[in-house]
Structure 1
Amino acid sequence: MDEQLLLCFGSHIKSIRISQQLSQEQLALKAGLDRTYISGIERGKRNVSLVNLVKLAKALNLPLSGLMSFDTGFSND
């Protein structure tokens, strides 16, 4: 269940990044994070901290709620 959630979140981040025509490197620079960390998020390998969620939201010009609005793949969504 946790792996599925991380994969869904990573896919959501990737789709936002691509829709804004940003590379992983560009997003990483805007967020003050490492490119490999962004890659890990998008592949569902990283469980992102609240601090880094806020950094990502700011870098993507989204409210935190917008960043967290994604389909988890669970039936109760």
Structure 2
Amino acid sequence: MIRDLKELGTNIRTRRSDLEMSQGEMAFQLGTDKGYISRIERGEINVGIIFLTEICMVLKTTPNDLLNIDDNDQVVKAISRGGE
């Protein structure tokens, strides 16, 4: 499971690059600007669950992949322990 926003941003950037997609193209598909995508990828801003889901659709991946979650039980355990 990811530890911080920078790790999530790196995972998003890596997946976008793997698809040979520019920040501008990704931003267009998400209805935002490339500066916002850049800030997400640098880990400067928190991404809400709805927007993360939209990012996943554009990047043809799942939240589990971007969050480095191997098992759904990890999410339940992390939430029930307050993210410990």
TM-score by length of 2: 0.71
Which ranges in structure 1 are unaligned for 5 or more consecutive residues?
71-77
TM-score by length of 1: 0.76
Q: How many residues end up aligned between the 2 structures? A: 67
Greater relative contact order: 1 or 2 (C-alpha under 8 angstroms, separation 6 or more)?
Answer: 1
Which ranges in structure 2 are unaligned for 5 or more consecutive residues?
70-84
Offset of residue 34 of structure 1: 1.9
Counterpart-to-counterpart distance in 2, 1:48 and 1:31: 13
Offset of residue 18 of structure 1: 0.5
Aligned-residue RMSD, C-alpha:
1.6
Contact 1:31–1:58 (8 Å) recurs in 2? no
The percentage of aligned residue pairs carrying the same residue is: 31
Counterpart-to-counterpart distance in 1, 2:48 and 2:36: 12
Counterpart-to-counterpart distance in 2, 1:5 and 1:39: 16
SS for the counterpart of 1:45 is coil
Offset of residue 67 of structure 1: 2.5
List structure 1 runs of 4+ shifted beyond 6 angstroms. none
Counterpart-to-counterpart distance in 2, 1:63 and 1:30: 17
Counterpart-to-counterpart distance in 1, 2:52 and 2:37: 11
